Amino acid sequence: MSVRASMFAHLLKRGLLGRGNRPLIAFVALILASTMITAMLNLNYGLEKKLSYDFRLYGANVTVAAPEGQALPPNAESRAQSLLGSDALVVPFAFAVAHTASGDAVVVAGTDMASVQHLNEWWLVSRWPSEDEALVGAKASAYLPSYDKGFDLSFSGRLLHVRQAGTLKTGADEENRIYLPLGVFEAWTNLTPSLLEISVSGPEERVNSALAQLQSAFPQAQVRPVRQLLEAEGAVIRRMRSVMLASTLLISLTVALCVLSTLTSSVLERRRDFAVMKAIGSSQKSINALFAGEATVIATFAGITGYTMGSILAAWIAQINFHAPVAPQIQVLPMVIVASVALALLAALVPLARLQRLEPAGILKGE
């Protein structure tokens, strides 16, 4: 067995190093395919995480709202957090319609200011409030006195003197509200949260799973996705995948044809060698294994080289188009090698079929 193994290794080495530039052509072609496959997978893994994170900066992608006129259960925030895990951000909101000293009605929201700041990093805030200060929407501030004097709010006959910390600009309904720390709001109004705004990280499937979990936990509440964020994120990711997949398939097909042509030429060029091997007793299985072994070795080294080049290409594409670095994903390496070997063996099917029909006698006679 050791002699046969040694002979097999010698023939394999001779086939790889003693055939001119044909192995090099197949090697370069497979590097190209491996580079594109690596780039596609790295971008798919890395950018999906990056895009999911970036879209989370634009606020919640799931809301849980109590029926109109009601509040959520007292432990709603902790239950939602425990269901979704520590990577989700759950922010409670309570609402009341109060009146200013001049009699103007204004919507007041109580919430956890630190969590809101983390949830809505896109908000334009002149200064975030401390524990006993309020954040006032740009439109609501038109009904209120200047910062230094503070202002009074009335709800159900109860007065609250409020100091304004900063002004909020969003271009949406938030500009019509006054935001108070949740503890201050509850002590003043005796109202508890009726809305949870939740940021769920991960792909669309993860968000859909979170929706199902929340609906099961809060059957009376309205659990809804924020469609604008989910659809925008999904569209960007799907478009990126489609472009990369189409490019990779086109290049892989071209590479397969190139490798097929190279391996077929190799069989024709070496048919006398294979005929001699058959004539001295080598089985067809051994000859096929030798030929497939050459293709596998070339593809393996091409996969490793292509992984390095593809990782660099993915980082460059991500930086140019998304201004976000994408680190090499080590879990991609085995997939790239397997894909490269599979591509090489697929291209070797036709040359192997020709080897099956090879007749030693006729070739050795020069026919």
Q: What is the pLDDT of residues 60-78, one digit of tens each?
A: 889 999 998 899 998 999 9
Q: What is residue 273's predicted lDDT score, i.e. its pLDDT?
A: 62
Q: How far apart are CA 145 and CA 103, in angstroms?
A: 13
Q: What is residue 177's predicted lDDT score, i.e. its pLDDT?
A: 94
Query: Per residue in 154-196, pLDDT tens?
Result: 999 999 998 888 899 988 889 999 999 999 999 999 999 999 9
Beta bridge partners of 195: 65, 93
| Crossing angle of helices 2-17 and 22-56, rounded to 10° | 90
DSSP label at 148? Answer: G
Q: What is residue 236's predicted lDDT score, i.e. its pLDDT?
A: 62
3-state SS, residue 135: strand
28: left (phi over 0), alpha (psi -120 to 50) or beta: alpha
Q: For residue 282, what pLDDT band results from cuts at 50, 70 and 90?
A: low
Q: Is the pLDDT of residue 229 over 90?
A: no
Q: Is the pLDDT of residue 365 over 70?
A: no
Please report, rounded to a whole number, the percentage of residues in the chain having pLDDT higher than 90.
29
Q: For residue 3, what pLDDT band results from cuts at 50, 70 and 90?
A: very low
Q: How far apart are CA 129 and CA 332, in angstroms?
A: 46
Q: What is residue 188's predicted lDDT score, i.e. its pLDDT?
A: 95
Average pLDDT over residues 200-224: 87
Average pLDDT over residues 97-108: 90
Which stretch of 32-46, 162-176, 181-195, 251-265 has the lowest confidence by average pLDDT? Answer: 251-265
Q: What is residue 180's predicted lDDT score, i.e. its pLDDT?
A: 95
Beta strand pairing call for 133-137 and 89-100: unpaired
Q: How far apart are CA 233 and CA 248, in angstroms?
A: 23
Q: Is the pLDDT of residue 12 over 70?
A: no
Q: Is the pLDDT of residue 197 over 70?
A: yes
Q: Is the pLDDT of residue 106 over 50?
A: yes
